[in-house]
Chains A and B, each alone.
Chain A
Amino acid sequence: MSQVAIVGVGQTPYRRSHPEKSSRELIWWAAKEALNDAGLGIDAIDVIIAGVAPDALAGEVSVERSGMMGIGKPFIRVNTGGVTGSSAVFAGASYIKAGRAKAVLVFALERMGQASSSQQVFNTIFDPVYEKDFPLTTITMAALRASMLMRLYGYAPRHWAEIAARNAQAARKNPLAHLHNDITPEDVLKSPLLAWPIHRYEACPMSEGACALVLVDKSLVGNRKPAWIQGAASTSDSYAMGDRIRRKGATLVDLLSLSMSAKRAYAEAGVTKPVKEIRVAELYSAFSSAEAMAYPALGFCESADGPRFVEAQATDKSLPVFNPSGGPQGANPVSATAMVRIAEAALQVRQMAGARQVDGVERAVATGQGGATQFSTVCVVGNKPNT
């Protein structure tokens, strides 16, 4: 199979809204920047993959129409909820791995700034027969998991607050992040309670913006600056959260789909000791509890050691750096968020991350979480191709 490299990254800033840009202009901004970074024109692109999650967030049906670029290319839209962005990347990479394309442009757009209430829209993503009558939203869905983590593994409110404050501080170094708030764990705990145990400053913002990547076959890398996709895996699970609560082997908070994706991506990338071999992790964690669930799934610690792992991050500098971009708690353009994780991981291994650059990154991991965690993706990128 061919090897795939990311040679172009384009991102708009992520903001509450971009009233100065139409949907087309947001996509075009990110796509043009990615092509410029890659040193390629649109004629060099064989395939375009568009990632846009629920239309209702933007209030525009078939919003992929805003992403037409060039003429005469296969074009696919992907929607897998939160993993829309990484699914788009993997779809593009599959074309190259299969030898059906040499260069693919993938983009993801989030236009939820046009919605006056995202949580009202998010309620409609749940099952209309058994679930939609309840106040299920992305926030309450995360809260139902957080309380289970507290019961099973001993997480306390201060752990959620510490993760949120660390990501907030990291976001201040990222000019593209939506929030740049100077907040402490105490500030998080004092902010209004949304749905126990989630406080306002722990919840991701609703952000809009676009992200684009140019993926190429090894033969096109030349003297371009690559982030090699060393391992990539996308895995599904049952939808019903209630079915997973007592499931033997992997409960709701064990993130079966993420741990399966990690095992497969690590095997492809040759990662055997993730805590030593991965320097940066860009996690799809719109809430602190989502970050905590990812640690054991990605092999960074045992589930029961999660609370201590959070505490150790403040002092043990040998541990991987989590979300140097600020992660989704700093900006959450939902359709694009999983692609942003890969983009940020690629910038880190290409040493192009500006003020948020971590020293000595040879390998980074990016995750995606979608739906009621029935979709998970793991992408390992590095500064060398697989041997």
Chain B
Amino acid sequence: MSDVELVSIPGLWAFNYNYFAGANASRFFNELKVNRRIMGTRCPSCERVLVPARGFCDACMEYTTDWKAVGPEGTLETFTIVATQFPGLPKPPLVMAYVTLDGADTALINLVYGMDLSDIDAAAQKLNKLPRVTTRFVDDPKGRITDFSFQLL
């Protein structure tokens, strides 16, 4: 069998989908679009304000109750600086981080702007000191998580 010419058959997955965000995430997205604010929901059991908003607390198995606006400022908790291009993903360099917005108990992920990335190691040292950030909205919010990003203060 060692001299057999091996066959490989080309394949392509290109299925179209529409991901249903559900009523809670839809309200979160509408708040971004209409009021340009970031909302969390409170768990009545552990009392954490969960951001981004969701309909239940998976740790306590309870429905969340009141909605609360958080931020716009917050603390950058942990980050990475993407330095290599991967197919189908955004062009580097870029900073992606978890930020706990003021008034929130959980962190949410987004891109961070306002860093000089010409020296990545130096930028990393700065980012690993819990820097403060603020939320910056795009000019024309669409009701998506990409309507905002974080800006270093």
Determine if A135 and B21 form an interchain contact, defined as CB atoms under 8 angstroms apart. Answer: no
Determine if A246 and B120 form an interchain contact, defined as CB atoms under 8 angstroms apart. Answer: no
Partner of B84, one of A131, A144, A193: A193
Determine if B13 and A59 form an interchain contact, defined as CB atoms under 8 angstroms apart. Answer: yes
Contact with B along A321-333 (1 / 0, CB 8 A): 0000000000000
Judge whether B30 is part of the interface by a CB distance below 8 angstroms.
no
List, in ascending order, chain B residues with CB within 8 A of A130's CB: 25, 52, 108-109, 145
Knowing A19-B6, A20-B6, A194-B83 touch, does A242 contact B108 (C-beta < 8 A)? yes
Determine if B78 and A151 form an interchain contact, defined as CB atoms under 8 angstroms apart. Answer: yes
Determine if A240 and B13 form an interchain contact, defined as CB atoms under 8 angstroms apart. Answer: no
Determine if B86 and A137 form an interchain contact, defined as CB atoms under 8 angstroms apart. Answer: yes
Judge whether B82 is part of the interface by a CB distance below 8 angstroms.
yes
Judge whether B67 is part of the interface by a CB distance below 8 angstroms.
no
In the complex, what's the smallest C-beta–C-beta distance from B83 to chain A, in angstroms?
A: 4
Judge whether B151 is part of the interface by a CB distance below 8 angstroms.
no
Determine if B98 and A242 form an interchain contact, defined as CB atoms under 8 angstroms apart. Answer: yes
A136 CA to B127 CA in the complex, in Å?
Answer: 18
List, in ascending order, chain A residues with CB within 8 A of B78's CB: 144-145, 147-148, 151, 245, 252
A134 CA to B80 CA in the complex, in Å?
Answer: 12
Contact with A along B92-115 (1 / 0, CB 8 A): 001011101000011111110000
Judge whether A143 is part of the interface by a CB distance below 8 angstroms.
yes
A43 CA to B105 CA in the complex, in Å?
Answer: 55
Q: How many residues of B contact A (CB 8 A)?
A: 51
A354 CA to B13 CA in the complex, in Å?
Answer: 41
Stretch among A112-120, A216-224, A299-307, A340-348 lining the B interface: A112-120
Contact with B along A183-205 (1 / 0, CB 8 A): 00000000011111110100000
Q: Of all chain A residues, which has the CB nearest B117?
A: A196
Determine if B82 and A140 form an interchain contact, defined as CB atoms under 8 angstroms apart. Answer: yes
Determine if A136 and B100 form an interchain contact, defined as CB atoms under 8 angstroms apart. Answer: no
A114 CA to B107 CA in the complex, in Å?
Answer: 36
In the complex, what's the smallest C-beta–C-beta distance from B133 to chain A, in angstroms?
A: 14
Determine if A117 and B87 form an interchain contact, defined as CB atoms under 8 angstroms apart. Answer: yes
Judge whether A129 is part of the interface by a CB distance below 8 angstroms.
yes
A114 CA to B13 CA in the complex, in Å?
Answer: 12
Determine which residue in B80, B84, B145 has the highest number of CB atoms from chain A within 10 A of its CB, and name it: B80
List, in ascending order, chain B residues with CB within 8 A of A56's CB: 13
Partner of B80, one of A59, A119, A195, A238: A195
A117 CA to B129 CA in the complex, in Å?
Answer: 34
Judge whether A123 is part of the interface by a CB distance below 8 angstroms.
yes
A195 CA to B83 CA in the complex, in Å?
Answer: 5
In the complex, what's the smallest C-beta–C-beta distance from B22 to chain A, in angstroms?
A: 8
In the complex, what's the smallest C-beta–C-beta distance from B120 to chain A, in angstroms?
A: 6
In the complex, what's the smallest C-beta–C-beta distance from B109 to chain A, in angstroms?
A: 6
Partner of A194, one of B19, B58, B84, B146: B84
Judge whether A182 is part of the interface by a CB distance below 8 angstroms.
no
In the complex, what's the smallest C-beta–C-beta distance from A46 to chain B, in angstroms?
A: 34
Judge whether A74 is part of the interface by a CB distance below 8 angstroms.
no
Determine if A59 and B11 form an interchain contact, defined as CB atoms under 8 angstroms apart. Answer: yes
Determine if A135 and B89 form an interchain contact, defined as CB atoms under 8 angstroms apart. Answer: yes
Knowing A134-B110, A147-B128 touch, does A246 contact B100 (C-beta < 8 A)? yes
Judge whether B137 is part of the interface by a CB distance below 8 angstroms.
no
A119 CA to B22 CA in the complex, in Å?
Answer: 27
In the complex, what's the smallest C-beta–C-beta distance from B39 to chain A, in angstroms?
A: 13
A212 CA to B144 CA in the complex, in Å?
Answer: 44
Q: Of all chain A residues, which has the CB nearest B48?
A: A243
List, in ascending order, chain A residues with CB within 8 A of B97's CB: 144
Determine if B124 and A147 form an interchain contact, defined as CB atoms under 8 angstroms apart. Answer: yes
List, in ascending order, chain A residues with CB within 8 A of B83's CB: 192-196
Q: Which residues of A, 58-102, contact B by the 8 Å Cβ criterion? A: 59
Q: Which residues of B, 119-140, contact A by the 8 Å Cβ criterion? A: 120-121, 124, 127-130
Determine if B107 and A245 form an interchain contact, defined as CB atoms under 8 angstroms apart. Answer: yes
Judge whether A360 is part of the interface by a CB distance below 8 angstroms.
no
Judge whether B50 is part of the interface by a CB distance below 8 angstroms.
yes
Judge whether A150 is part of the interface by a CB distance below 8 angstroms.
yes
Determine if A148 and B110 form an interchain contact, defined as CB atoms under 8 angstroms apart. Answer: no
Determine which residue in B22, B25, B109, B110 has the highest number of CB atoms from chain A within 10 A of its CB, and name it: B109
Partner of A129, one of B25, B96, B128: B25
Judge whether A239 is part of the interface by a CB distance below 8 angstroms.
yes
List, in ascending order, chain A residues with CB within 8 A of B108's CB: 130, 242
Determine if B106 and A135 form an interchain contact, defined as CB atoms under 8 angstroms apart. Answer: no
A144-B80, A148-B78, A241-B98 are known; give 14 further A-B pairs, CB within 8 A.
A116-B87, A129-B25, A136-B109, A140-B82, A147-B78, A147-B127, A150-B128, A151-B78, A197-B124, A200-B84, A242-B51, A242-B106, A243-B48, A246-B77
Binding site for B on A (CB under 8 A): 19-20, 56, 59, 114, 116-117, 119-120, 123, 128-131, 133-137, 140, 143-148, 150-151, 192-198, 200, 238-243, 245-246, 252
